[in-house]
Protein backbone atom coordinates (compact mmCIF):
# COMPACT_ATOMS: atom_id res chain seq x y z
CA UNK A 1 0.00 0.00 0.00
CA UNK A 2 1.28 3.44 -0.91
CA UNK A 3 1.79 5.75 2.04
CA UNK A 4 0.94 9.42 2.30
CA UNK A 5 4.66 10.21 2.59
CA UNK A 6 5.33 8.40 -0.69
CA UNK A 7 2.58 10.39 -2.38
CA UNK A 8 3.99 13.65 -0.99
CA UNK A 9 7.46 12.72 -2.29
CA UNK A 10 6.03 11.96 -5.74
CA UNK A 11 4.16 15.28 -5.78
CA UNK A 12 7.39 17.09 -4.97
CA UNK A 13 9.16 15.26 -7.80
CA UNK A 14 6.44 16.06 -10.33
CA UNK A 15 6.44 19.73 -9.35
CA UNK A 16 10.24 19.98 -9.48
CA UNK A 17 10.34 18.32 -12.92
CA UNK A 18 7.45 20.23 -14.49
CA UNK A 19 7.06 23.64 -12.88
CA UNK A 20 10.28 25.57 -13.42
CA UNK A 21 9.27 28.39 -11.03
CA UNK A 22 9.32 25.87 -8.19
CA UNK A 23 12.94 24.82 -8.68
CA UNK A 24 14.80 25.25 -5.41
CA UNK A 25 11.64 25.86 -3.38
CA UNK A 26 11.44 23.90 -0.13
CA UNK A 27 8.15 22.09 -0.69
CA UNK A 28 6.50 21.18 2.58
CA UNK A 29 3.13 19.58 3.22
CA UNK A 30 1.63 22.97 4.10
CA UNK A 31 3.12 24.83 1.12
CA UNK A 32 0.29 26.73 -0.57
CA UNK A 33 0.60 25.91 -4.24
CA UNK A 34 -0.76 29.10 -5.75
CA UNK A 35 0.92 31.52 -3.33
CA UNK A 36 4.18 30.31 -1.80
CA UNK A 37 4.72 27.78 -4.54
CA UNK A 38 4.13 30.06 -7.52
CA UNK A 39 2.20 27.37 -9.39
CA UNK A 40 -0.05 29.11 -11.91
CA UNK A 41 -3.27 27.54 -13.15
CA UNK A 42 -1.63 25.83 -16.13
CA UNK A 43 1.17 24.46 -13.94
CA UNK A 44 -1.41 23.21 -11.47
CA UNK A 45 -3.37 21.43 -14.22
CA UNK A 46 -0.14 19.86 -15.51
CA UNK A 47 0.87 18.62 -12.05
CA UNK A 48 -2.56 17.21 -11.20
CA UNK A 49 -3.02 15.45 -14.55
CA UNK A 50 0.45 13.89 -14.33
CA UNK A 51 -0.32 12.66 -10.82
CA UNK A 52 -3.68 11.28 -11.98
CA UNK A 53 -1.79 9.25 -14.57
CA UNK A 54 0.88 8.06 -12.14
CA UNK A 55 -1.65 6.91 -9.56
CA UNK A 56 -4.45 5.88 -11.94
CA UNK A 57 -6.96 8.22 -10.30
CA UNK A 58 -9.54 10.66 -11.59
CA UNK A 59 -9.99 13.64 -9.31
CA UNK A 60 -13.42 15.19 -9.91
CA UNK A 61 -13.21 18.75 -11.21
CA UNK A 62 -15.15 20.13 -8.25
CA UNK A 63 -12.47 18.78 -5.89
CA UNK A 64 -9.72 20.62 -7.77
CA UNK A 65 -11.04 23.88 -6.28
CA UNK A 66 -10.51 22.55 -2.75
CA UNK A 67 -6.80 21.78 -3.25
CA UNK A 68 -4.62 24.52 -1.75
CA UNK A 69 -1.55 22.78 -0.32
CA UNK A 70 0.68 19.83 -1.11
CA UNK A 71 -0.98 17.99 1.76
CA UNK A 72 -4.43 18.63 0.28
CA UNK A 73 -3.26 17.23 -3.04
CA UNK A 74 -1.84 14.11 -1.37
CA UNK A 75 -5.09 13.58 0.53
CA UNK A 76 -7.27 13.81 -2.57
CA UNK A 77 -5.01 11.43 -4.50
CA UNK A 78 -5.21 8.88 -1.67
CA UNK A 79 -8.99 9.36 -1.48
CA UNK A 80 -9.44 8.31 -5.12
CA UNK A 81 -6.73 5.66 -5.38
CA UNK A 82 -7.96 2.21 -6.34
CA UNK A 83 -7.79 -0.37 -3.58
CA UNK A 84 -4.45 -2.12 -3.52
At 29, which CATH number? 1.10.1200.10
Q: Is the dihedral of CA 68, 79, 74, 49 positive or negative?
A: negative
Predicted confidence band at 38 (pLDDT cuts at 50, 70, 90)?
low
Closest CA to 52 of 40, 64, 41: 64
User: What residue numbers bound the domain in which 49 lies?
Assistant: 4-80
| Mean pLDDT of the 55-76 span | 94
- Global confidence as pTM: 0.87
Total tally of structural domains belonging to the chain: 1
pLDDT at residue 36 above 90?
no
Amino acid sequence: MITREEVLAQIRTVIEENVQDMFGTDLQEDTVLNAEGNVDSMGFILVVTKLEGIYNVKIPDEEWYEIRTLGDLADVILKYMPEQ
